[in-house]
Amino acid sequence: MNQKDAVNDIKERLGEYTRLLREIDNQYERLGLMEMTMAAPPGLSMTGMPRGSGAPSDRTGLMVMRKMELEEQIKETIAEEQKERASIEAMIQRVKHPDERAVLRLRYFDRADWDGICAALYGDRQDYLDRLDSYQNRTYKAHGRALLRLAEILKESRENDGDDRGATD
């Protein structure tokens, strides 16, 4: 595997991780909407047509069951996320430069945008606003170096462990 392929592998893995975080966000949003729906009383029938007496309790029971299923799915997804986060963190800890580690954590764990990452790394510098473009380039380069190092770490882990995911999976 060449270096470009290794970098693409780590980018894909980090992308999968951020998609997993987005999935958790979406599941929580869905759960919130479900809870709001459950809290709202059923509307009055303005048609004058009679309703069956079992409908509200059946509806409520079905909604409770769906909510419980969703909560279980969220727990499973969070457990998967925590395992992958620990594995990625183990690789990040092997990156020697603190700014490179910070870029990775901010970008992939905290999902910060590039402006936020740049400000976190260099915002305390007196010339930050005057040299913003230069600091942004430094941020991008630190990210690139960090990805290269993670790719090396992942490749080493695979070679040592014979594992297709690497690190502490």
What does the pLDDT read at residue 49? Answer: 63
Burial label, 70 (beta-carbon count in 10 A; 0-12, 13-18, 19+): middle
- The number of beta carbons lying within 10 Å of the beta carbon of residue 66 is 13
Percent of the chain at pLDDT > 70 equals: 85
Mean pLDDT value of segment 112-116: 97
State residue 124's pLDDT score. Answer: 96
Instruction: Calculate the average pLDDT of the chain.
Output: 88
**Alpha-helical segments (H) within the chain:** 3-39, 55-92, 98-104, 114-122, 132-161
Residues in the chain: 169
Task: Please answer whether residues 130 and 67 qualify as being in contact, where contact means their C-beta atoms are separated by less than 8 angstroms.
Answer: no
Residue 78 contacts by C-beta under 8 Å, 6 or more apart in sequence? Answer: 24
Domain ranges across the chain: 3-41+54-161
pLDDT in tens, 40-84: 766 666 666 665 554 455 777 888 899 999 999 999 999 999 999
Name the nearest CA neighbour of 143 among 85, 89, 104: 104
